């Protein structure tokens, strides 16, 4: 299989780019903070993106590029199978963070190292822009958190209030560059 990791260009960001991308996840357990401690709770649902979610995603990614951020993709035989997105707006009390606002790998392409490589590309880009850390408001599923912890993410020192309010069940993480 021919794999190519590269920045996605603005003119590529359209619905057709996601024609072979499957954002699917069966969730059965999630991390929740109770009394200041992380615990695993039974939380059962299926996440399956449809046309509405992809339309919103395309607009979000276009906006990120328009505002100076970056989107990296992994392409297998010309088809997008994973992407990471870093916004250009600094976060944190001393603007030490850039946000890794998306990191997704197609269901049929997981567990092959693509997520880690996409995170490392995002980290390199953020470091070049002067950031000290990536900020990640991450899905709390056991599987998602296992990935982020395995690549070196830790609880964010300075959780961003806007992210906590928008996604109260997410885990607020950071990746030191």
Q: Residue 7 is encoded by which pair of tokens?
A: 């920045």
pLDDT in tens, 82-120: 999 999 999 999 999 999 999 999 999 999 899 999 999
Domain count, the chain: 1
Rounded Cα distance, 31 and 119, in Å? 21
Say what the pTM is.
0.95
pLDDT score for 84: 98
Smallest Cα–Cα separation from 145: which of 170, 168, 114, 128? 170
User: CATH code at 92?
Assistant: 3.40.630.30
pLDDT in tens, 50-76: 999 999 999 999 999 999 999 999 999
Range of the domain at 123: 3-176
Q: How confident is the model at residue 1 (pLDDT cuts 50, 70, 90)?
A: confident
pLDDT score for 32: 96
Residue with tokens 């780019």: 17
> Is the distance from CB of 100 to CB of 136 less than 8 angstroms?
yes
């Amino acid at each position: 299989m021919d794999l190519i990791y590269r920045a996605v260009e603005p003119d590529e960001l359209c619905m057709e780019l996601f024609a072979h991308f499957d954002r699917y996840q069966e969730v059965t357990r999630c991390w929740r903070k109770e009394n200041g401690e992380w615990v695993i709770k039974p939380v059962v649902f299926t996440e399956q993106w449809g046309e509405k979610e992809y339309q919103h995603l395309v607009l979000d990614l276009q906006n990120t590029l328009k505002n100076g951020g970056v989107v990296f993709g992994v392409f297998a035989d010309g088809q997008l199978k994973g992407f990471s997105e870093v916004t250009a707006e600094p976060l944190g009390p001393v603007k030490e963070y850039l946000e890794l606002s998306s990191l997704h790998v197609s269901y049929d392409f997981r567990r092959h190292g693509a997520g880690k490589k996409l995170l490392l590309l995002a980290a390199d880009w953020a470091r070049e822009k002067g950031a000290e850390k990536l900020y990640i408001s991450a899905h709390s599923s056991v599987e998602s958190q296992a990935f982020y912890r395995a690549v070196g993410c830790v609880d964010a020192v300075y959780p961003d209030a806007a992210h906590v309010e928008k996604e109260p069940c997410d885990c607020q993480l950071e990746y030191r560059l």
